Amino acid sequence: MHDANPSAFDAEFIAALPHETPYFLFSEATLLARIREFNRYLPNVGIQYALKANSDPGVLRILAEAGCGFEAASRYELRLLKNIGVPPDRIIYGTSVKPAAHIREFAEYGVDCFACDCRSELKKIAENAPGSRVYVRLAVNDAGSVFKFSEKFGTSKATAFSLLGTCESLGLRPYGLSFHVGSQSRNHRAWANALANVREAIIALSQARIKLEMLNLGGGFPCQYDSTETVPSLAEISAEIVEQYRQLPYQPKLIAEPGRGIVAEAGVLVASVIARVPRRETTWLFLDAGVYSGLFEAMAYQGSTRYVVAALRPSNTSGEALFALAGPTGDSPDVITREALLPADMDVGDKLIVRNAGAYSLSVTSEFNGFPKPAAYLV
């Protein structure tokens, strides 16, 4: 499915590392492989990496050096990009609802591309970033995705038409349309279906003599977890996008905002067993990392993601058994999985590797119960 470099996370290599657990490892080779894959299957689509998925400075630096653009969602993310020297013409402010002070800071840095989805936000952009390019976010069908966005963000085609038609009177430049099919989408046609929906808006805008310069495909590109059926490959997704794109009345420039699709497989979390406790029908292994240490999406109300978990040592002669895995905090939702197949003799001090943990992990860690955030290392 991918041209990844799994050797970066070889169990023997990780077992020899001197780092104290828990910690994240991010693979430069895998990050670059993801970028190559996007460039291969979506060669004419500009990548605006979504910082929210993983804003580790080392990761951002690698992506910047590889030529990525960035989608930032706050002035705090903007400052991370400024710190590593990303120029303003490679940054877009993609959140459709924004604090005025943040808009001003983006504009002062030279960023001139902003999203919106309502009239009050359009006026806010006009007041704080005059002369900027504006693209309007449409609500689209996000069925088939784990995390749905269209309830909170996005507007109708009619409102998008009105907003873009108002831009010039406010001193703004009507630039494009965007959509988001939902995070971790499992429908390979989701992006193409959204483009088909956009087609009607493009025709209506053309009749009003507004020609779009850009279409933003958003994110949602999936990663394979243990909890999901086989996800569509980028090759399958891109084939549908290209086919639908060719059917548009004209072809605006395409950009996309992959986050998970670039960083998920590029990161692992390494943790240690701190307790082995038999409880009724299940033996629990308590780890020094849990949902608050980066595995937030394992929570039932955050997607019930089941990560690929493996021991750093072989099972020897003990065979394997199912364990429940929990984090170190005193909170009952701090449960990673109830179905981890591991060596039956796992005990205190043994280490585990949680794979495909590069997205929405480090960026949502907290210090709940006082446990510090895991360190992060690049390999």
CA 213 to chain centre: 25
Lowest-pLDDT range of 19-23, 80-84, 306-310? 306-310
- The pLDDT-based confidence of 103 (bands split at 50, 70, 90) is very high
Question: What are 54's two structure tokens?
Answer: 């993983």
| 55-258 topology per CATH | TIM Barrel (3.20.20)
Count CA atoms within 13 Å of residue 150 on its CB side: 19
Helix/strand/coil percent split, the chain, to 5: 35, 25, 40
Average confidence score pLDDT of the chain: 89
How many beta carbons lie within 10 A of that of residue 253, not counting itself? 14
- The predicted model gives 295-305 an average pLDDT of 75
Q: What is the pLDDT of residue 3?
A: 41
- The pLDDT-based confidence of 34 (bands split at 50, 70, 90) is very high
Dist. CA 34–CA 41, nearest whole Å: 11
Nearby residues of 203 by Cβ (< 8 Å), 6 or more positions away? 249
Q: What is the pLDDT of residue 301?
A: 59
Q: What is the pLDDT of residues 205-236, one digit of tens each?
A: 888 889 999 999 998 888 888 766 678 889 99
Dist. CA 51–CA 47, nearest whole Å: 12
Range with the largest mean pLDDT of 6-20, 217-231, 272-286: 272-286
Would you list the domain boundaries of the chain? 55-258, 265-378
Q: What is the pLDDT of residue 199?
A: 87
- The pLDDT-based confidence of 7 (bands split at 50, 70, 90) is low
- The predicted model gives 64-92 an average pLDDT of 97
Q: What is the pLDDT of residues 159-205, one digit of tens each?
A: 888 999 999 999 999 999 998 887 677 678 888 888 888 888 898 88
CATH code, residues 265-378: 2.40.37.10
Dist. CA 15–CA 352, nearest whole Å: 10
> Could you tell me what percent of the chain has a pLDDT over 70?
91
- Burial classification of residue 149, based on how many CB atoms lie within 10 Å of its CB (0-12 exposed, 13-18 middle, 19 or more buried): buried
Q: What is the pLDDT of residue 146?
A: 47
Higher pLDDT, 332 or 127: 127
Q: What is the pLDDT of residue 1?
A: 37
Higher pLDDT, 365 or 223: 365
Q: Determine if the peptide bond prior to 130 is cis (ω within 30°).
A: no
Same fold, 55-258 and 265-378: no
CA 187 to chain centre: 17
Q: What is the pLDDT of residues 105-140, one digit of tens each?
A: 999 999 999 999 999 999 999 999 999 999 998 876
Give the amino acid at 148: K
